[in-house]
Structure 1
């Protein structure tokens, strides 16, 4: 491996370690030769996200131009052209090694572009359309690296796990996203729980949630847990060497929801994080455990309150 390619993989690993502590720890459970490829995919998605979220002193038009230029550089690299970008060589190499579907990358970049112009979503189906590119495709990108006995059967659980992880982030980061001018939780469900944008802004200013906001978060915690339940059967379909990693990621991201519940669904009082001791304990238990599906006792699905909407088997709000 050339020096520039090694440096690109190292840059992706550093981004992963700095910004994705939970996922980075889980990745440590993979065989060493696979880790750099997971870091490459994380680095690609993280850097695109940073372009979109780097709002200080930069207009949406400037960020759109930067994202378009970076996307063009990526496409040029796919065609075999030279790139001076510090991380793209690792991504391009990973795509080549595993023959990852390029359509997933197109969908991802499309969702990143949406973040520059779309600040809210009317329904959960609308949000799912965005999450298809921003989250579900991450799961399917990962499948060739993780390996599976039946990739076709594992595809839908992989999509669901991507959705579960991102919805967990949306729940945890309501306050942070609001500061960026975005509300990911759908407007129709906010209205159903009697929550307006002004209520969220008051909660941000006070540093605590109202009871109506807590009810909204409680409901969406149940939605996220449904996605986890739909994802769980896919983990035993992975190669045995990959199962500890994804079992740990499954449990650690689910643990963020546990922390949200432990603080009475008040996502404005503090950012819900899994304590370091618990992250390490989960990692150790996943190393020692026999390959198996995750224990769903950690992701039991509470019933939504009456009239709040039900989930169909695709994980959408009906």
Structure 2
């Protein structure tokens, strides 16, 4: 059972019906991730705004990962574009719509950022991404990660140009980190997100399974890890120009993923099937340090 705390003004978060808020929160809870707990540091309006953004991302990501033909998946993603368009016309049809609409209006979220996330999922839905060129690799990172960041920083409380730079760099840093630790898992799905130019440079086969067992994968991983570190540093510099309180969740995510990347670098990429993870106590310690830094 979900119990919602009223705001100090006596209203519910975002002014939404408690049943709608509970339904959106259930999507977050049922995802099995620690996202919901991580957002507990936010005040209620921002927390439920992030739940709504996460639920949107979770559901469109499920479309890309579900069974079905590329045509069917793309049609379902088109339906999501239409749904977002209706929200910006002021039309809401269900619980998620209503909480998303309140979030959009409260925090000034941009329609193009929602559409960019859908476009990123469509890149996966049209067929497995295998060894994209550098431009496509960067575009994918922007759509599936930095666009989410552009939505998130506004909900966190900062809509400045500096906050957009945080989203640009931190999104890429997080996505590159995910790609580097999921090489084997992605290969099982027929996917290989590593850039073709880097793979060719180190004689790594441009096939998912071939790349997993290539000696040159280590060098590819090291170079991409260096890029991710550059993005982490640029994100941290941009955060210093932002509202400090608003950037608390971004600092926690940045610190956590930087630790994951460091652990991956220590392990290397000779056995990509051994997925790197952090213990819960380690995550809590990292979060605590990021919040007081």
Separation (CA, whole Å) in 2 of partners of 1:186 and 1:160: 18
Separation (CA, whole Å) in 1 of partners of 2:248 and 2:131: 35
1:147 to 149, 154, 157: 157
Q: Which runs of at least 4 in structure 1 moved beyond 3 Å after TM superposition?
A: 23-26
| Residue 65, structure 1, aligned to residue 75, structure 2 | yes
Alignment RMSD:
2.3
Q: Secondary structure at the match of 2:273?
A: coil
2:181 to 172, 186, 189: 172
Structure 2 residue runs without a partner (length 5+): 1-15
Aligned to 1:253: 257
CA drift of 1:4 comes to 4.2
Aligned to 2:40: 28
Kept in 2: contact 1:156–1:231 (CA 8 A): yes
Q: Secondary structure at the match of 1:241?
A: coil
Q: Secondary structure at the match of 2:41?
A: coil
Query: Do the aligned partners of residues 44 and 161 (structure 1) sit closer, same or farther apart at CA in structure 2, a change above 3 Å counting?
Result: same
Separation (CA, whole Å) in 2 of partners of 1:122 and 1:143: 28
Describe how 1:75-94 pairs up with structure 2 within 5 A. Answer: 75-84=85-94, 86-94=95-103
CA drift of 1:24 comes to 4.4
Kept in 1: contact 2:162–2:242 (CA 8 A): no
| Residue 6, structure 1, aligned to residue 21, structure 2 | yes
Aligned length, in residue pairs: 277
Kept in 2: contact 1:147–1:238 (CA 8 A): no
Residues 84-112 of structure 1 deviation map (CA, whole Å, 9 limit, x = unaligned): 3x533322221111111111112221222
Aligned to 1:268: 272
Query: Do the aligned partners of residues 14 and 70 (structure 1) sit closer, same or farther apart at CA in structure 2, a change above 3 Å counting?
Result: same
> 277-286 or 267-276, which moves further after superposition?
267-276
CA drift of 1:251 comes to 0.7
Residues 198-248 of structure 1 deviation map (CA, whole Å, 9 limit, x = unaligned): 5x41575xxxx4431122112111111111111111223333333332221
CA drift of 1:279 comes to 0.2
Structure 1 residue runs without a partner (length 5+): 291-318
| Residue 185, structure 1, aligned to residue 200, structure 2 | no
Aligned to 1:120: 130
Separation (CA, whole Å) in 1 of partners of 2:49 and 2:18: 16
Kept in 1: contact 2:202–2:220 (CA 8 A): yes
- Higher RCO by CA contacts (8 Å cutoff, separation 6 or greater): 1
1:284 to 263, 283, 288: 288
Kept in 2: contact 1:28–1:245 (CA 8 A): no
Q: TM-score, normalised to structure 2's length?
A: 0.85
Query: Do the aligned partners of residues 185 and 24 (structure 1) sit closer, same or farther apart at CA in structure 2, a change above 3 Å counting?
Result: farther
Q: TM-score, normalised to structure 1's length?
A: 0.79
CA drift of 1:146 comes to 2.0
Aligned to 2:10: none
Q: Secondary structure at the match of 2:216?
A: helix
1:158 to 160, 167, 170: 167
Aligned to 1:53: 65
Q: Secondary structure at the match of 2:240?
A: helix
| Residue 240, structure 1, aligned to residue 249, structure 2 | no
Query: Do the aligned partners of residues 144 and 203 (structure 1) sit closer, same or farther apart at CA in structure 2, a change above 3 Å counting?
Result: closer
Query: Do the aligned partners of residues 154 and 243 (structure 1) sit closer, same or farther apart at CA in structure 2, a change above 3 Å counting?
Result: closer
Residues 114-173 of structure 1 deviation map (CA, whole Å, 9 limit, x = unaligned): 22225235422221122222222222212222223x712332232111111111111111
